[in-house]
């Protein structure tokens, strides 16, 4: 059985401790790390490459942008944003959509296609 690798970045501490007590006993879930300082979040995600990230949902606009950025770089990851003091959360994931475009056979089109940076994440659900 493949274990789900989870990175936890929740504040306040009480919420993080409750969350950890819920998921650490699950045989199919492995907590691979904790982030206490949100400014280190991107670096730790890059180092650990978790399957899932659990964050505190503070400012929905700020976290929506952060989640979009992280999912753009790591589209295989899922993000669960939980709101302390509220009975709600948001679940983010990337939807990868394979697309194609017909192009002419020319030198400029070959070069343009090679230089293009189409977005990986087509749809972020929030």
Tokens of 60: 């929905």
Tell me how far apart the alpha carbons of residues 55 and 53 are, in angstroms, rounded to a whole number: 6
Contact call for residues 41 and 77 (beta carbons, < 8 A): no
Q: What is the pTM of this model?
A: 0.73
Tell me how far apart the alpha carbons of residues 125 and 104 are, in angstroms, rounded to a whole number: 35
Tell me how far apart the alpha carbons of residues 61 and 10 are, in angstroms, rounded to a whole number: 17
Residues 62-83: pLDDT tens digits?
667 888 899 999 999 999 888 7
Tokens of 123: 């749809």
Looking at residue 123, its pLDDT comes to: 42
> What's the CATH number where 52 sits?
3.40.50.2300
Residues 51-66: pLDDT tens digits?
999 888 776 556 678 8
Domain carrying residue 110: 4-124
pLDDT at 121 over 50: no
In which element (H, E) is residue 46 found? helix 41-48
Contact call for residues 51 and 78 (beta carbons, < 8 A): yes
Number of domains in the chain: 1
């Amino acid at each position: 059985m493949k274990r789900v690798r989870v990175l936890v970045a929740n504040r306040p501490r009480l919420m993080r401790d409750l969350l950890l007590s819920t998921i650490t006993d699950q045989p199919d879930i492995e907590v691979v790390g904790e982030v206490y300082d949100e400014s280190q979040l991107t670096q730790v995600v890059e180092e650990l490459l978790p399957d899932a990230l659990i964050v505190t949902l503070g400012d929905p606009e700020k976290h929506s942008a952060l989640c979009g950025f992280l999912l753009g770089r790591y589209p295989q990851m899922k993000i669960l944003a939980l709101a302390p003091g509220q009975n709600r959360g948001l679940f983010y994931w990337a939807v990868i959509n394979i697309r194609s475009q017909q192009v002419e056979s020319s030198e400029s089109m070959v070069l343009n296609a090679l230089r293009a940076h189409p977005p990986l994440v087509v749809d972020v659900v929030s």
